[in-house]
Structure 1
Amino acid sequence: MKRICSIIFFLLTISFVKAQSKLTLRQAIEMGIANNIDVNKADLSSQQAHITMQQSKLSMLPNVNASANYGINSGRTNDPITNAFINQNINSSNYGITANVTLFNGLALQNDIKSNALAYEASKMELQQSKDNLTINIILAYLNVLSAEDLLQNARLQEEATRRQVDIDSLKNAAGSISPSDYYTLKGQLGTDQLNIADNVASIAVAKLSLAQLLNIPYSDSLEVERLSEDVFNLYYEADPSKIYDTALQQFAQIKAVHFRTESAEKYVRALQGQLYPTLSLNGSIGSNYSSAITNSILLNSQDVASNDYVIVNGSQIPVMTKQNTYNTEKVSFGTQFNNNLSKYVGLGLSIPIFNGARARSRVRTAKIQFKVTQLVEQNTKTLLQQSIEQAYVNFKNTSNKYSILLDQVQSFTESFKAAQAKFDAGAITSDIYLIAKNNLNATNINLIVSKYNFVLRAKILDYYKGKSLW
């Protein structure tokens, strides 16, 4: 059902994207999660863990089994019911139901249930972690598209400004009012600006391709993404690495996953230790059987007849009379035999492990080692998380400072370019000086575009560790 829902969601999303001009960040993330193979594999692993947990719970219930056997014997054989030898065809059958339930086995079943339940919780957190990792990658690809589009827009503005200046200076050059070197320097700059446009167009295609591949959809030049709100570029962002780490310990899916794995391993050790104790079980059965050879003799009549024996009375032989009974033989019905042969049994069974090649104890020792491994993995995961948060915080601060500086620098170079433009138009400076001011502004704008989207990404990474929504 989940797979069907994912397919329906994918088709609806594709239809929606085609109908709508631009893809939002939220739509991109949801589409990527629905289509990603690794996420779907993690989801299937979680479903398997859920089945294992359910099966361990069902192991607490009694085992009930029914049996039925039917056979045909011919020739001289023994009646399976009476054990008497007979020489005829016999149809026989037997039926039974057996049941047993474990009353005590050192709490092995209970601890196995707890172990599998914790493993299932860990699988759900690992599924969430897989989704979170993919979300970060999609955000990065999405921001790369926006950044490439902004760089293309900046390159076009630069090319447009240079073209206007070339058009103006071409007239001046024809009139001989400016130096030809100034004019051809500007024409060379126009070619450079056009190359920058071509490079940025290619960069957009590469960025869109990367995004489409993450979303697992066919690449299309018509793919457009929605612009982000200006609020996300706000320099004010509260970030304290120690507070972020404390929050992550409580909310981060990866931390929860390794913690559940550790607890699951501990319960598994106890489950195996329970197998070292005696097992007490309650057993019961009920059964019956049938044979076509079973018959009943029904008395029809009785009469006195003379036997071969006699007595002498007064010298005469007087025959001895005896009773002679006449019977009618008929087969016993199935229902009557079933009721007559019905048997029941109830008993307690005790199994005491004495020696089994020390396999049970070896499994316990192995499980204890695995438990220690999971403890080390959990400890190492927390350490790596703290280091990652500290690194993310340092990267964010550096990016934030650079972004702030570039905002001021763009304003300064904008004013510088305006002054250079006025002087160049007045013929007070050469094209070389004019282009230096223009290229300084262009380079700063490029750095600002890259920096502001890097700032957003670094902020999103901190939000990720905080457990906040990333869109």
Structure 2
Amino acid sequence: MERKFSFLIFLCMALEIFSQTPNYPAAWTLENCIEYAKENTISINSLRLSKNAAQQDLLQAKDAKYPNLNGTVSQGLFAVNGSDGLHMTGTQSQSIGANSSMTLYHANYIKNNEVSKDLLVQMADLSVQEAQNNITLTITQAFLNILMNQENIISLENVLKTTQTQLKQGDQLYKAGSLSKLNYLQIQSQVAQDQYNLTAAQNNLRTNTVNLKQILQLPSAYDFQIVKPDSIMVDDQLKTLQEVQNLAQNQRPEVKYGELNVENSNTNLKMTKASIQPTLSLTGNISTNYSNGNGNYFNQLGNNFYMPIGLSLGIPIYNNRIYKTQIEKSKIAIEQANLDLLNTKTVLNQQVEQSFINLQNALSQYDSAFKQMDISKQSYDIVNAQMKIGSIDYVQLQQQRLLYIQSVQNYLQAKYTAVLNKQIYEFYAGNPINLK
């Protein structure tokens, strides 16, 4: 029996630990990374909590149009003022009551307050969307950096294999006396340099992988590895700048947030103006009491029952300019909200324009880099073949080799810069990030 009980405790603990384990994607594609970050990033979840708090304020604002109700029950002793002064009689007493009030008129303050709280809920949701957009671009750049590192490593491994082959050939030529010791040492030095370059590229891959892992806020012990797409293509099909700017202005959450902020500022002005208007309320309460020694308990409650109901009218007369100041500041807030909206639209248009220019530049650099790499590769292959038959010296080979390596680096940088800028530009147009 004791063993069964211990097993049940262990099983419950295991199930609890398992339930706390995050649900990681089966494969970390770019799309999965983005979706995981949107759902699990601390900063975004914090904004969701702010939205939940705003929704609670909205529920409270909706219930403000209904009457409230409060009840009271008190138990105590009588104090009697006699000839010898105030003293306690020891007689028990009880008082029971309830009161309620409801605003009948306040210049639509309750309705406008509900509208304002609803706008704040929508604005909180837009803040979540904007944060998701920001982290989407951050993850895309980090993911593409990893892909560029992986491709760079492959190219450097191929270069190292070539120089290692040259070293084997050089070793045979040196032993046969056909290669000087200086050239032989230069080949050894180049192999060491290529190994260093490969190690540096591998270190960059680890660093960029950790960077993406930290953006996703994954545990340190988690073995994080991304899945490379089947192919990365550079697409030179562009929407016009005006088209993307119009799409961005109509779809981006920061613009919608600014528009709602203007609407909310106008609503707040209506609420502030209501403060100088009369407030009509319906009030009422019921009460009864009982004291020991004055008759039956229930008879006393019935005989002492009291239920006044009436109207209450509050009229603001003079308030040291408090309400007038609030009205003027609300008007200023409207002007500020309009300026903020205009600034948001202006900055967004500038960002789209800069993205358009960056993409055009990246595509031009990509075309040039591709041609440069192709020519450098052909030249390097020719020089390498000539080196094998001894028609050129090692210095010429190394010069062409360095040109080829640099052209590969330029090509990879231009390729992934073009891919990143295309994704950013399309993202402004409302298209999701997609490397397929």
TM-score > 0.5, shorter chain as reference: yes
Alpha-carbon separation, structure 1, partners of 2:399 and 2:145? 28
Aligned to 1:394: 357
User: Contact between 1:9 and 1:34, CA under 8 Å: does it hold in 2?
Assistant: no
Q: Relative to 1, partners in 2 of residues 1:172 and 1:284: Cα closer, same or farther, differing over 3 Å?
A: same
Higher strand share: 1
Give TM-score scaled by structure 2 length.
0.88
Alignment of 1:270-285 (within 5 A): 270-285=270-285
Give TM-score scaled by structure 1 length.
0.82
1:438-463 deviations in whole A, cap 9, x for unaligned? 22222111111122111221122113
The one-letter amino acid paired with 1:275 is: S
1:323-367 deviations in whole A, cap 9, x for unaligned? xxxxxxxx3x22222223323222222111111112111111112
Residue 421 (structure 1) shift: 2.2
1:102-146 deviations in whole A, cap 9, x for unaligned? 111111121121112112211111111112112211221121122
Aligned to 1:113: 114
Aligned to 1:59: 64
Q: Relative to 1, partners in 2 of residues 1:176 and 1:220: Cα closer, same or farther, differing over 3 Å?
A: farther
Alignment of 1:300-311 (within 5 A): none
Q: Relative to 1, partners in 2 of residues 1:201 and 1:444: Cα closer, same or farther, differing over 3 Å?
A: same
Deviates most, 355-364 or 420-429: 420-429
Alignment of 1:269-418 (within 5 A): 269-294=269-294, 331=295, 333-418=296-381
Aligned to 1:157: 158
Alpha-carbon separation, structure 2, partners of 1:398 and 1:217? 35
Aligned to 2:389: 426
Residue 153 (structure 1) shift: 1.6
Q: Relative to 1, partners in 2 of residues 1:10 and 1:288: Cα closer, same or farther, differing over 3 Å?
A: closer
Alpha-carbon separation, structure 2, partners of 1:115 and 1:74? 51
Q: Relative to 1, partners in 2 of residues 1:454 and 1:10: Cα closer, same or farther, differing over 3 Å?
A: farther
Gaps of 5+ in 2: 1-16
Which structure: larger Rg?
1
User: Contact between 1:122 and 1:261, CA under 8 Å: does it hold in 2?
Assistant: yes
User: Contact between 2:67 and 2:103, CA under 8 Å: does it hold in 1?
Assistant: yes
Alpha-carbon separation, structure 2, partners of 1:9 and 1:228? 31
Number of aligned residues: 416
Alignment of 1:165-244 (within 5 A): 165-219=166-220, 222-230=223-231, 232-244=232-244
Q: Relative to 1, partners in 2 of residues 1:74 and 1:357: Cα closer, same or farther, differing over 3 Å?
A: closer
Q: Residue 348 of structure 1 aligns to a residue in which SS?
A: strand
User: Contact between 2:148 and 2:416, CA under 8 Å: does it hold in 1?
Assistant: yes
User: Contact between 1:239 and 1:393, CA under 8 Å: does it hold in 2?
Assistant: no
| Structure 1 position 68 matched with structure 2 position 31 | no
User: Contact between 2:78 and 2:88, CA under 8 Å: does it hold in 1?
Assistant: no
1:76-122 deviations in whole A, cap 9, x for unaligned? 67xxxxxxxx9965332222222111111111121121112112211
The one-letter amino acid paired with 2:400 is: A
Q: Relative to 1, partners in 2 of residues 1:457 and 1:220: Cα closer, same or farther, differing over 3 Å?
A: farther
Aligned to 2:418: 455
Alignment of 1:35-46 (within 5 A): 35-46=40-51
Q: Residue 287 of structure 1 aligns to a residue in which SS?
A: strand
| Structure 1 position 13 matched with structure 2 position 23 | yes
The one-letter amino acid paired with 1:36 is: T
Alpha-carbon separation, structure 2, partners of 1:48 and 1:140? 33
Deviates most, 244-253 or 51-60: 51-60
User: Contact between 2:377 and 2:404, CA under 8 Å: does it hold in 1?
Assistant: yes
Deviates most, 200-209 or 411-420: 411-420
User: Contact between 2:236 and 2:363, CA under 8 Å: does it hold in 1?
Assistant: no
Alpha-carbon separation, structure 2, partners of 1:132 and 1:341? 66
Q: Residue 343 of structure 1 aligns to a residue in which SS?
A: coil
Q: Residue 140 of structure 1 aligns to a residue in which SS?
A: helix
Q: Relative to 1, partners in 2 of residues 1:54 and 1:465: Cα closer, same or farther, differing over 3 Å?
A: same
User: Contact between 1:233 and 1:455, CA under 8 Å: does it hold in 2?
Assistant: no
Aligned to 1:298: none
CA RMSD of aligned residues (A): 2.6
The one-letter amino acid paired with 1:398 is: N
